[in-house]
Homo-oligomer: A and B are copies of this chain.
Amino acid sequence: MIDDIEKPSLRADLGTAIVGAIEEVLGPVKADLHAPVFAGNEWAYLKDCLDSTFVSSVGTYVDRFERELATFTGSAHAVAVVNGTAALHVALLLAGVERGDEVLVPALTFAATANAVSYCGAVPHFVDSSDDTLGVDPEALDSWLSFKTEQVRGLCVNRDTGRVIRAVVPMHTFGHPCDMGGLLRVARKHSLQIVEDAAESLGSYYHGRHTGTFGLIGTLSFNGNKTLTTGGGGAILTNDEQLARRAKFITTTAKRPHKWEYVHDEVGFNYRLPNLNAALGCAQLEQLPGFLKAKRALHEKYRQVFARLDGVELVHEPENCTSNYWLQALKLKEVDLQLRDSILEQTNAAGYMSRPVWKLMHGLQQFEACPRAPLDVAEKLEKTLINIPSGAGLV
């Protein structure tokens, strides 16, 4: 009974307490969710790019950016492309996704993950997340596939739809690595390719290995709100040399090298990253270790202040993982949409930008008829997660 009486006031107070906690960390400023920081050679490299006149599809910054991305991530190859969605589209094609296939995608993700599956003419099949990692839950996935699919000539076939399930796309939510060990086992068991959506996780490691380098192929994004930005941009990571060459080829209109002839021998894409954007990327990449350090320091500060609050916890990196803490996230201990929305109202009104996680994919009109596993965890996360200001410039 006492609980019931106290709850309303507890709820009203939580928003105020959260605003106070953020203010203790950030001070009385306005803060975006993730503003980029340009404090290095951005200026010099952009000017160099203009002076060279090589701003477009060919140029030394593209090559350099690819080389340095490969070195940073420990991937044998990196291919720069125009954005993370384009990277996913091509990665799925290279993983063999065909029209009429299904691809396993977390319900808890940004629409680009599922859209890229649609671009291939394939159908997203939504699966649940783990409460620990916020990413695809390997155990739930294994149970679901064991129940719903059968192996037919080495392929995973959905018993209900008769379609081949070609791949699974783990997405490292807010930069927190999925349980890649578990996912590799499940993928092997059910004959699935892994295409990692590491759009949010540049600088995040699972057991010391960079996200995006576990599957056949992985993808990065350098959108303006990401840990590192090129304005718009993305990359494909792979350890397979032949796949890397194919990725470069079909993202550059599939043009065969020739002194002057324009010969293309398949339908290619104009997915090249312009040299201008790569120049920005090179300057940003130099600062990435500093950005990661700052974002981790911000997390520690938030941790201290939020440890004092009841009813909410700060999402921490999974065990044996290093997160880039792309987006800091609060998780409400109870499902209470009114509470969530009042916290969103209060924080935004105070000048601290906040937002809930994306609407789950199966809740979007264009995907509501797609196959899906039970999504209990994702549905709870959807109602309890709140992102708060996370930029590297905030500490």
User: Is the pair B261, A223 in contact by a Cβ cutoff of 8 Å?
Assistant: no
Task: Identify 15 new A-B residue pairs, CB closer than 8 A, beyond the known A115-B267, A121-B121.
Answer: A43-B50, A56-B225, A56-B232, A82-B83, A85-B253, A85-B270, A112-B270, A230-B274, A232-B273, A260-B355, A261-B356, A262-B358, A262-B359, A265-B365, A277-B277
A55 within 8 A of B: yes
By a CB distance below 8 angstroms, the chain B residues around A371 are none
Q: Which residues of A contact B (CB under 8 A)?
A: 35-38, 42-43, 46-47, 50, 53-58, 82-86, 110-112, 115, 118-119, 121, 223-225, 229-232, 253-255, 259-270, 272-277, 280, 344, 348, 354-356, 358-359, 364-366
Of B38, B53, B83, which one neighbours A270 at CB under 8 angstroms? B83
A37 CA / B55 CA spacing, docked (Å):
11
- Shortest beta-carbon distance from A300 to chain B in Å: 25
Considering only CB atoms, which chain B residue lies closest to A56 in the complex?
B224
By a CB distance below 8 angstroms, the chain B residues around A57 are 223-224, 232
By a CB distance below 8 angstroms, the chain B residues around A359 are 261-264
A53 CA / B230 CA spacing, docked (Å):
11
By a CB distance below 8 angstroms, the chain B residues around A43 are 47, 50
User: Is the pair B262, A110 in contact by a Cβ cutoff of 8 Å?
Assistant: yes
User: Is the pair A231, B275 in contact by a Cβ cutoff of 8 Å?
Assistant: yes
User: Is the pair A231, B85 in contact by a Cβ cutoff of 8 Å?
Assistant: no
Beyond A263-B364, A364-B263, is A112–B356 a contact (Cβ under 8 Å)? Answer: no
Considering only CB atoms, which chain B residue lies closest to A261 in the complex?
B359
A46 CA / B277 CA spacing, docked (Å):
11
User: Is the pair B55, A270 in contact by a Cβ cutoff of 8 Å?
Assistant: no
Looking at chain A's contact residues, the main secondary structure is: loop
Beyond A277-B274, A354-B260, is A224–B115 a contact (Cβ under 8 Å)? Answer: no
A280 CA / B265 CA spacing, docked (Å):
33
By a CB distance below 8 angstroms, the chain B residues around A225 are 56
Beyond A83-B82, A262-B111, is A223–B269 a contact (Cβ under 8 Å)? Answer: no
By a CB distance below 8 angstroms, the chain B residues around A262 are 110-111, 355, 358-359
User: Is the pair A86, B276 in contact by a Cβ cutoff of 8 Å?
Assistant: no
By a CB distance below 8 angstroms, the chain B residues around A275 are 224, 231
Considering only CB atoms, which chain B residue lies closest to A234 in the complex?
B270
Considering only CB atoms, which chain B residue lies closest to A99 in the complex?
B121
By a CB distance below 8 angstroms, the chain B residues around A365 are 265-266
User: For A112, A231, A259, A262, which residue has the most chain B Cβ atoms within 10 angstroms?
Assistant: A231
Of B223, B264, B268, which one neighbours A56 at CB under 8 angstroms? B223
By a CB distance below 8 angstroms, the chain B residues around A255 are 111
A-B contact pairs, 5 of them (CB 8 A): A82-B83, A82-B232, A83-B270, A121-B121, A265-B365
Of B110, B276, B348, which one neighbours A231 at CB under 8 angstroms? B276
A43 CA / B270 CA spacing, docked (Å):
26
Considering only CB atoms, which chain B residue lies closest to A221 in the complex?
B270
By a CB distance below 8 angstroms, the chain B residues around A111 are 253-255, 262, 264, 268
Beyond A115-B253, A259-B348, A277-B231, is A270–B366 a contact (Cβ under 8 Å)? Answer: no
